């Protein structure tokens, strides 16, 4: 199975887990059954989060759905049954607080996302030349996440604008619904290069499948990532356990290994 298909299979597995968890559940877990925490997570966590969750108490079961941070907001406001929201942009967390779906005291930041220009291993494109390489005639398609609801797509579009390349590349851009789909477009041959999350290529199955160059933080608005324990959480204690695993020293070490930077409040020291 190709690396891109492994990513798709992983996403499908967690969707099935969520569907199973949502069938026939009651408002509270039985004392004799594991607590099930339903997580809506940004797709850039697709590889790192499963490792973080390995440290969770075995009595706590976690069902994760990965997708676009912005699309999750609308789903949660409309009553989607999630307990924990992990976004690639704290602005979306603020929207949930404004909508009454979470309390400000239950929000937190956990990492800073990083953008990379990524090409397959056998590509003639040299990503270390920076974004300007995307104007080469051999680059026919450039993949981004959809800027309308994906924070990484919005940051990528801002980087192209700042570099003065948005008009030159307007006819070459192809969009994935989220940053994982943008990477899949490149890995499957649907695009020649992509501006994607470092967390999806720095470690894991894609680490040896391509070459990449990290965009400087000054090239785009910061991708400060945050989350919230949602007001409708069924098992608050179990949900907090998942949050604490992400914020723990062990959880932060996993995130760093997958290319995330620290959240702003943890940068000192």
| Model confidence at 121: pLDDT above 60 | yes
- pLDDT bucket at 123, cuts 50 / 70 / 90: very high
Assigned token pair, 90 = 């704290």
Assigned token pair, 183 = 């990477």
- pLDDT bucket at 186, cuts 50 / 70 / 90: very high
Please state whether beta strands 60-67 and 35-42 pair in parallel, antiparallel, or not at all (unpaired). parallel
- pLDDT bucket at 189, cuts 50 / 70 / 90: very high
Closest listed residue to residue 45, CA positions, set 70, 25, 68: 68
* CB burial of residue 26 (10 Å; 0-12, 13-18, 19+): exposed
pLDDT (average), residues 147-163: 97
Dist. CA 140–CA 169, nearest whole Å: 9
Q: Per-residue DSSP letters for 195-254?
A: EEEGGGTSSSTTTTSEEEEEPPGGGS--EEEEEEEETT-S-HHHHHHHHHHHHSHHHHHH
pLDDT (average), residues 232-236: 94
| Model confidence at 223: pLDDT above 70 | yes
What percentage of the chain carries pLDDT values higher than 90? 82
pTM above 0.95, yes or no: no
Lowest-confidence pick of 36-45, 113-122, 258-267:
258-267
pLDDT (average), residues 122-151: 97
Q: For all residues of the chain together, what is the average pLDDT?
A: 88
H or E element: which one contains 137?
Answer: none
| Model confidence at 250: pLDDT above 50 | yes
pLDDT (average), residues 7-13: 39
Q: Residue 63: beta bridge partners? A: 38
pLDDT of residue 15: 40
Question: Rounded to a whole number, what is the largest CA-CA distance in the chain?
Answer: 62
What percentage of the chain carries pLDDT values higher than 70? 86
Report how far apart, in Å, the C-alpha atoms of 210 and of each of 120, 186, 206 are: 4, 10, 7
- pLDDT bucket at 119, cuts 50 / 70 / 90: very high
Report how far apart, in Å, the C-alpha atoms of 194 and of each of 83, 131, 133, 210, 211 are: 32, 10, 12, 11, 11
**What's the gap between Cα 158 and its chain centre?**
18
| Model confidence at 18: pLDDT above 60 | no
- pLDDT bucket at 194, cuts 50 / 70 / 90: very high
* 159, 219 Cβ separation under 8 angstroms: yes
* 245, 108 Cβ separation under 8 angstroms: no
- pLDDT bucket at 57, cuts 50 / 70 / 90: confident
Assigned token pair, 151 = 């924070």
Assigned token pair, 238 = 């179990």
- pLDDT bucket at 32, cuts 50 / 70 / 90: low
């Amino acid at each position: 199975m190709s690396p891109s298909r492994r990513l798709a299979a992983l996403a499908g597995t967690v969707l099935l887990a969520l569907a199973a968890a949502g069938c026939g559940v009651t408002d509270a877990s039985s004392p004799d059954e594991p607590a099930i925490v339903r997580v809506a997570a940004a797709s850039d966590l697709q590889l790192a989060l499963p490792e973080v969750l390995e440290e969770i108490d075995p009595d706590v079961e976690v069902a994760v759905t990965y997708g676009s941070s912005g699309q999750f907001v609308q789903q949660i406001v409309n009553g989607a049954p999630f307990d924990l929201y992990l976004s690639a942009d704290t602005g979306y967390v603020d929207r949930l607080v404004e909508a009454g779906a979470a309390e400000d005291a239950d929000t937190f930041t956990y990492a800073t996302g990083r953008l990379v220009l990524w090409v397959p291993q056998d590509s003639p494109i040299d990503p270390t030349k920076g974004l300007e390489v995307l104007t080469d005639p051999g680059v026919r398609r450039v993949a981004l996440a959809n800027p309308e609801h994906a924070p990484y797509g919005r940051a990528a579009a801002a980087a192209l604008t700042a570099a003065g390349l948005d008009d030159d590349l307007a006819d070459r851009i192809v969009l994935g619904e989220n940053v994982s789909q943008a990477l899949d477009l490149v890995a499957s041959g649907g695009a020649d290069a992509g501006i994607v999350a470092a967390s999806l290529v720095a470690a894991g199955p894609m680490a040896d499948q391509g070459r990449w160059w990290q965009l400087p933080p000054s090239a785009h608005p910061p991708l400060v990532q945050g989350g919230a324990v949602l007001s409708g959480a069924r098992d608050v204690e179990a949900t907090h356990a998942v949050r604490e695993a992400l914020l723990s020293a062990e959880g932060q070490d996993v995130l760093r290994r997958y290319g995330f930077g620290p959240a702003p409040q943890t940068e000192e020291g």
